[in-house]
Structure 1
Amino acid sequence: MSALPSRELARTLDDAILPELWRRRTRLSEDEMVSMYDLVRRALRSYHPQELSALGEDKEELVAQFIYTKVLRLAPGHTESNACAESAPSNGYALCAYFRRYLIDCLRSASHQRNVSMEDEGMEQEIDLHAHALEDPVESVLMEYGLDEHRVRLAARTFIAGLDEPERIVLAGSLGWCSGCKGGLSAVATQHRVPSYHYRAVKLGVTMKKTADAGDFSNTKIGRWLVNVLGIDIDSENRTAILIALNLLAAESSEDEMIDAAA
């Protein structure tokens, strides 16, 4: 997790251009189509929802079909969309939710139902839940855990308020608003004179040792917040919900807190 700031910066750059490309997705130039294709693949690279194993098809092929049919809308009969401009995914997490919805549609299709025992695989309830998901893909993920964006944001504010000043600076420099600053967390910590910043980062959960596992992360402050407050277990199956919660936590880490800490 020590490379998190650079990954956060790359994700921020993708998120900045995603909505605009999405709104023009049926009128993109060839170069823009390549950019959109690469952006979606990056967003889905480490996303492995359980529907993938139920479908039994190659993930890369499914991603390519998703981009061709649902993103770029190149398939016959899919060239136009009735979706409003506001429905454009705002970030990579939303793209993950869109892709999962596409996989669920595949599972519901007759061609896939012949190969999937809905009762044996316990998928019927799961599919029905997503079939009635909210239009907002972030909300549709959070609702599985009895959460919504407003509740997570409130929990994030309470969590941040409970941190001491050095911890708030470490959070801002690793996940929050200044995570893309030149020099990363080290530079931010030096600027704000945070002692033992690496130790604090490990305890907070924004930096992990190479040998760390899910249990180690569960014992960090952020890990305990996810598990005990939000009810999201640290498990690979919950990766999308965890990423959304961390994204909202990062969004609630504001510049005002850094100013207060430096005062």
Structure 2
Amino acid sequence: MTTTPTPPTDEARLLDLWRRRPTLTEPEWHALYTLVSATLANRNADLIARLGGTREEYIQDFFEDKVLMLNQNNQELYHRGALAFYYERYLISRLRDPYIKHGLAPTEDDEEQSATDPTDDIEDESTLRRQLSDWLALELDSPTTETAATPQTLIAETLALDLEHLLTAAQDFLHGRGDWAHLAPDSDWIRLYLGCHFCPDGETRASISLNTLARRHSIPSYHTRAVKLGITVPKQQDAALTAFRRSYRGQWLLALGVEVDPEHQLEMTLALKILCFVALKQQESC
């Protein structure tokens, strides 16, 4: 008589997927997200109420910040209760961080700060911006290889990347594709934040405040999202770099192979300016 094997419990499946995160397939990642969401769905309502936003947002944040990011600091998971403990600690850390805590209304300083970049103190930044603007306008509208000074040359010499690869990486990031598929649910507001608030230079398009964008497009937790994207950071240099490395834009730079530190400001500026140019070109309506 053949015995039908007992299917694994949800907890056993959760622990198995958690342990195998470095090698999970895309369907397995979706399964893990479903199990994590089900485990955390009804927990810590008091903390979430103090933070603002929805439980779905914080579960997704936790998944992106603590489950997707595989590094030596990730904890082992021995039972489902440990996951709930990690999640509670994560929410508490969000409450303690004055730059992430929702409910902390951005001040005028925050709004001004969010419209700057950790790389904006480079002396030749304005010249670089003008050159890139001219080059990329030509390249994106009518690609050519006949000009002597090309964006391809600058990118190859500075970043050791070709322009086509960099433009594809920017488009994938902005639309939540490929390696950035986990950002697909956030892609609409990411493009709005960059194309309508952060990247406009005031000449061809005026910058719209985050508060206005949030009201116009019903974007919840809009200041928290600015921190996640890396367009609002603490004022202290060390804290700013640490927060920026964790942000979406910081992770995008690291994925390109660009170091996020003061010694690589030119490389950071170049890559982020190109991300801005692509965002501005693709975001027609604000």
TM-score, with normalisation over the residues of structure 1? 0.46
Please identify the structure whose Cα radius of gyration is greater: 2
TM-score, with normalisation over the residues of structure 2? 0.42
